A = this chain, B = another copy of it.
């Protein structure tokens, strides 16, 4: 399983992804699910991946090969560095996913449905504001707006209540990072197939370069304090609500 979140704010976009993959409970590995393409001064594009690792790695490799091809020849078709909008970037990721399904699907036969993938794509290309998309296994996609400023892929349920209650476009980046990490903390506690470390990336509007990118390990003192503090705060919040009855 996987847990990834992208949150679009007035100040920019913040991304977070876990790093655990598993083929059964007894076959666990660590893989990066956050992929970044940057042309400083022109664009930052971030892709978070969930689902079958063979599919998501193929998509990323094909996107990388597209970059190399379009560097050699400008007529080689669109690449993440040649598209002029994030909408075009989302179409490119969607069509690349469809290509992978087409190549592998025939040989997978009736098992093909198990080889699904989904993505969160966000970033900014000069000429428009920052944009955030969720791309489905079918290759189509939706874009985040002010009503729903975040997308989650993978194991989304445990970490959703706090996002629903707290996420607003006006948030400061430091608070948004805290929010995403609390959402991860709830997910990590409840689903063994989501695991540390967490990759986190902060992109600030109109900077066109990656502001901050970090890997948060299990022993990270901030995450440790946040996890402890959130448990304590939740129990305190619980204690402050009036009991259903005063009866013992």
Contact = CB atoms under 8 A, between A and B. Distances in A.
The size bracket of the interface on A is 35 or more
Contact of A225 (B158, B161, B242, B245): B242
Interface string A147-184: 00000000001101110111000001111011101100
Given A158-B158, A186-B161, A178 B241 contact: yes
B243 A177 contact: yes
A175 B181 CA distance: 28
Contacts of A161: 158, 161, 186, 189-190
A243 B178 contact: yes
Q: Which of A161, A166, A235, A236 has the most CB of B within 10 A?
A: A161
20 contacts: A157-B157, A158-B161, A161-B161, A161-B186, A161-B189, A172-B248, A174-B245, A174-B246, A174-B247, A174-B248, A175-B243, A178-B238, A179-B238, A181-B244, A182-B238, A182-B241, A212-B245, A233-B238, A233-B241, A236-B237
Contacts of A233: 237-238, 240-241
Copies assembled: 2
A231 interface: yes
A89 B178 CA distance: 48
Nearest to A216: B244
Interface string A124-146: 00000000000000000000000
Most B C-beta atoms less than 10 A away, residue of A179, A181, A238:
A238
A234 interface: yes
A203 to B, nearest CB: 13
Interface string A222-238: 10011001110111111
A173 B245 CA distance: 8
A174 B239 CA distance: 11
